């Protein structure tokens, strides 16, 4: 399993040296959200497009 620290180090190696703290935070945030989404898929916490449309139709 990859550690968070190693993943952040990879991000830092890939982004330009001119990156701001805000840029770095954004890249880490996006990476975290992607990892959460992949975990949800692995654990079966997903909805079909049909289910989403049905749920949204109640709100719209």
For residue 21, what are the contacts with CB-CB under 8 A and spacing of at least 6? none
The separation between CA 11 and the C-alpha centre of its own chain, rounded to angstroms, equals: 13
Q: pLDDT tens digits for 5-59?
A: 999 999 999 999 999 999 999 999 999 999 999 999 999 999 999 999 999 999 8
Whether the predicted model's global pTM rises above the 0.85 cut: no
Of 56, 59, 39, 58, the closest CA to residue 48 belongs to 56
Domain boundaries along the sequence of the chain:
4-59
């Amino acid at each position: 399993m990859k550690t968070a620290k190693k993943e952040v180090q990879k991000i830092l190696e890939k982004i330009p040296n001119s990156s701001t703290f805000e840029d770095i935070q954004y890249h880490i945030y996006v990476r975290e959200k992607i990892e959460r989404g992949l975990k949800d898929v692995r654990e079966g916490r997903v909805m079909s497009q049909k289910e989403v449309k049905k749920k949204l139709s109640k709100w719209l």
